[in-house]
Amino acid sequence: MKVFIVDTTRCNGCYNCQIACKDEHCGNDWSPYAKPQPETGQFWMKLHEYVRGNVPHVKMTYVAQMCQHCEDAPCMAACPVEGGIYKREDGLVVIDPKKCSGCMNCLDACPYGVIYFNETLHIAQKCTGCAHLLDKGWKEPRCVDVCPTGALIFGEESELSERFGAGETLHPEFGVKTRVAYFGLPNKRFIAGTVYDPKANEVVIGASCTLTGDGGTFTQETNHWGDFWFKDLQPGVYTLKIEAAGKTKTIADINAEKDIGLGDIPLE
């Protein structure tokens, strides 16, 4: 049984995965596995990018998203054609391009939105895990083959079980069991800032920062840049209290529904 691992903490955002998928599938007919993907506009492998925070406390996270090859795939259940969407022995879920009737039920059924409708061919299409290549002896699909950093991994579940088991499911709230394990999903928030003394024009190092809010209470000291970075926070509203050398400052109502960079904070 095959599984994917997506480690966003190793993704440099080069988009090779998305491009290789297109190189393989746009304009190339891999019947009986898949018909050609339209030249543009559809992404059987799609990289999503998130710019997080505010100048100068900004980070990016890229999340590669393709068919999750669910064990209990909602698309299969929704397909009215017998064998129209099938699961291979290796666990990959494939839409049969010849059987697909174009009813689009699977597009509605897929909670991840990774199934596309090919208007020209009048069929639903998605990631096949490059099954046509695996059957030729390839060890990995194209997206994984071109990943320069090991952010994408593909292989036998038995060999990857430990790492696979430690990962997260993309959108666990969908309640499906997927064959893709994620690391570093941007589902937590950060609150960051730089504390400085406006009289001395110096950053304040070692200021005590206490963050209180929906996700709990956290404390930190500002570092050698005068920075604090509270990471891995539950989204929610927080209050920050900064203390150093008898001075205090409180910032209330920090809405960390998004990641927040508070910029340069004078401690007066």
Token pair, residue 137, equals 């002896």
Contact flag: residue 119 with another protein (CB under 8 A): no
Q: Which residue, 10 or 171, is less far from another protein as judged by CB?
A: 10
Q: Which residue, 139 or 216, is less far from another protein as judged by CB?
A: 139
**Taking a C-beta distance cutoff of 8 angstroms, is the pair 229, 22 a contact?**
no
Q: How many residues bind another protein (CB under 8 A)?
A: 70
Which listed residue (65, 125, 178, 194) binds another protein by CB under 8 A?
A: 194
Q: Which residue, 205 or 237, is less far from another protein as judged by CB?
A: 205
Residue 232 to residue 218: CA distance in whole angstroms: 11
Token pair, residue 256, equals 């960390």
Binders of another protein among residues 199 to 228 (CB under 8 A) are 200-203, 205, 224-227
Contact flag: residue 74 with another protein (CB under 8 A): no
Rounded to a whole number of angstroms, the minimum distance from the CB of residue 6 to another protein is: 15
**Taking a C-beta distance cutoff of 8 angstroms, is the pair 6, 152 a contact?**
yes
Specify the 3-state DSSP secondary structure of 90. Answer: coil
* Strands 123-125, 152-156: pairing kind: unpaired
Preceding omega of 38 cis (within 30 degrees of 0): no
Binders of another protein among residues 26 to 65 (CB under 8 A) are 26, 28-33, 39-41, 43, 49, 51, 53-60, 62
> Contact region for another protein (CB under 8 A) — 103-111, 193-201, 212-220, 248-256?
193-201
Residue 185 to residue 50: CA distance in whole angstroms: 10
What are residue 151's phi and psi, to 5 degrees? -70, -25
Print burial letters for 110-120: b (CB count within 10 Å at least 16), e (below 16): bbbebbbbbee
Q: Which residue, 146 or 160, is less far from another protein as judged by CB?
A: 146
Cα angle for residues 128, 159, 90 (degrees, 5° grid): 30
Contact flag: residue 132 with another protein (CB under 8 A): yes
Contact flag: residue 91 with another protein (CB under 8 A): yes
Residues near another protein (CB under 8 A): 1, 10-16, 18-20, 22-24, 26, 28-33, 39-41, 43, 49, 51, 53-60, 62, 76, 82-83, 86-91, 94, 96, 98-99, 132, 135, 142, 145-146, 148-149, 194, 196-197, 200-203, 205, 224-227, 261, 264
